[in-house]
Structure 1
Amino acid sequence: MSFTLFADSRLALAKDSLAGLSVGDALGGRFFVPGGRVAPWRDDLPPGPWEWSDDTEMAGSVVTVLADARQIDRDALASTFAARYDPARRYGAGAVELLELIRSGTPWPVAAASAFDGQGSLGNGAAMRVAPLGAYFADSTSRAAAEARASAEVTHAHPEGIAGAVAVAVAAALAARGRLDGSRPAAGRLLAGVAAAVDPATEVHRRVRRAADLLGRPLPQVVAALGNGSRVTAPDTVAFTLWVAATRLDDYPAAIQACVEAGGDVDTTAAIVGGVVAAYGGVGTPGGVPAEWLAAREPLPPWLP
């Protein structure tokens, strides 16, 4: 099915994805306990407000730039990241250093390329914030991939960091397209579509292909093969999150629960999964983001469009 999306429809899809991302981020973060461990899932969820982290703040900047420019303007995105970032939102040390450089006037290509002794970051930060972008470009996976690459390059010069962003954006685009078509994408087909869009020379690509081979396998086996974000890298995070999203695309609560049960970088894995699943299921609908979960999440910043 071919279709044309107008700007307001694109933004509505992106906002639903951002809602799912932010709820996953905020709820996932509530399961961290002292010592870097993750508490077991429980059905009686912790009371709100659930505070969101840097995942949501940076995703909000992506949505803001899309609302203004209808594409990723990398200079504008870098400026927005630097202007909006609040270190209290649990930014990693590398992200703080990079954003402080940009805030002080260092051009973003120089700042991004200087990370990790000139290798560039292969972290999961570009992937964690990009699902709303994919939903915005639901009518074109090639456009979603290109814009995701542009969004990643502002902070992640390493091919793996870029590949992670492309993978998540394409997954969200396919999910949102399925919503518009009225047809749930089959898990294998969704993962194949993602793999086709990702640089085949990357470990992210290899693990996404591996994720497709693990459909139907139990969660612990999948974590053992793909990771759970505990290394905070794109290869260790993205394929796992897309396996969860692909297999639980019509059940947002089950998808977030799987992230918590897997352990690791739970707020980020739940943010990625939440953004992709909400691109398909929406908010306050059967299988989408539960209204009571959205109400428990801390309000989003007033500067969002």
Structure 2
Amino acid sequence: MSAHLLARAASSLHGLALGDAFGSQFFVPANRHALDSRLLPPAPWQWTDDTEMACSVYRVLADHGTIDQDALATSFATRHDFDRGYGPATNRLLRLVREGGDWRALSAGLFDGRGSWGNGAAMRVAPLGAWFAGDLAEAVRQSTLSAQVTHTHPEAVAGAVAVAVATAVTATEPGLPAGHFLDRVSEHVPDSLVRDGLAEARQLLTISDPSLAARMLGNGRQVTAHDTVPFALWVAARHRHDHEAAMWTTAAAGGDVDTTCAIVGGIVGAAESGHLPPEWRRRCEPLPSWSGAPPLDHHDPTP
């Protein structure tokens, strides 16, 4: 197994965790003033379910080199910490898997058999995109497999595909202008509201106000893939090479801030220039040891 793949995926995972932990601080009323003044919230920053599930994605890739859906479902269920902020449907699904339930039937049966179109598959997938950055078709296939373990609705799958491809393109084509970046991602996203949102995000690149962009694209407040991913990729397109700008821009829009920041952080973490600010890293809760991800100082994310 390539040490380079592990390093690139781990870099994305660290970026995702830092974004998740940073974004989660703005659900604390006392920290909301920090958005206007850009003062870092006090430590420690704890990550949420976004990171916990992303660690399982990374660990399964490290162990298998591919998405083994049974192994991923088992890891999600075994590592599930109720206090990390999971949604009620996912809490129930993972509890039933732990009790011996069939994840395939449980995932497909959510929401009267329609499956979940939530943003959970997209929030955790960036390290997978970094892993398969050299093969976009495989990134699409593998991100689809990873999504289906908990989210079978086509919109949720499209959201995961979009984030995985965005991360892959960030890692391998760092010089793409913002518009071409979104075009490149959209080429691989199936017809969906997510893809429509990416087209709208493309048109909004001329504006700089994240609140205005979020009013048009959504900011995750509805916790759906199509209400979350287009805005996150609008930010990533503009700020792939500036972690701090990416995080402050994402958080300024409000909504599901830990998830939008996790998505953007995972994408930026895979960038050649995606080194994470030391002071931010010091404030962030470390990754769990079971993830197997090396400490950030022990690898070089550059391709």
TM-score bracket, normalised by the shorter chain, equals over 0.9
Query: Take 2:233 and 2:243, find their aligned partners in 1: how far apart are those partners?
Result: 13
Match of 1:204 in 2: 194
Cα offsets for 1:232-263 (capped at 9, x unmatched):
00000000000000100111101110111100
Q: TM-score, normalised by structure 2?
A: 0.92
Give the drift of 1:87. 0.4
Give the drift of 1:133. 0.4
**CA 38–116 in structure 1, closer or farther in 2 if over 3 Å, else same:** farther
Match of 2:112 in 1: 117
Match of 2:280 in 1: 293
Match of 2:162 in 1: 167
Give the drift of 1:62. 0.1
Of 170, 174, 177, the match for 2:172: 177
User: Match of 1:211, as an amino acid?
Assistant: A
Give the drift of 1:193. 1.3
Match of 1:3 in 2: none
1:1-305 matched pairs, under 5 angstroms: 7-33=2-28, 39-41=33-35, 42-178=37-173, 183-200=174-191, 202-217=192-207, 218-281=209-272, 288-305=275-292
Q: How many residues align?
A: 290
CA-based RMSD of the aligned residues comes to 1.5
Structure 1: where are the runs of 5+ without partners? 1-5
CA contact (8 A) 2:126 2:266 kept: yes
CA contact (8 A) 1:38 1:260 kept: no
CA contact (8 A) 2:34 2:41 kept: no
CA contact (8 A) 1:33 1:39 kept: no
Structure 2: where are the runs of 5+ without partners? 293-303
Give the drift of 1:47. 2.1
User: Match of 2:240, as an amino acid?
Assistant: L
Query: Take 1:300 and 1:187, find their aligned partners in 2: how far apart are those partners?
Result: 31
Query: Take 2:17 and 2:58, find their aligned partners in 1: how far apart are those partners?
Result: 13
Give the drift of 1:185. 2.2
Query: Take 1:101 and 1:192, find their aligned partners in 2: how far apart are those partners?
Result: 40
Query: Take 1:244 and 1:186, find their aligned partners in 2: how far apart are those partners?
Result: 13
Cα offsets for 1:127-164 (capped at 9, x unmatched):
00000000011101111111000000000010001000
The percent of aligned pairs where both chains have the same amino acid is: 50
Give the drift of 1:33. 3.0
CA contact (8 A) 2:34 2:40 kept: no
Query: Take 2:126 and 2:65, find their aligned partners in 1: how far apart are those partners?
Result: 15
Q: TM-score, normalised by structure 1?
A: 0.92
**CA 259–17 in structure 1, closer or farther in 2 if over 3 Å, else same:** same
User: Match of 2:243, as an amino acid?
Assistant: Y
Give the drift of 1:34. 5.2
CA contact (8 A) 1:21 1:273 kept: yes
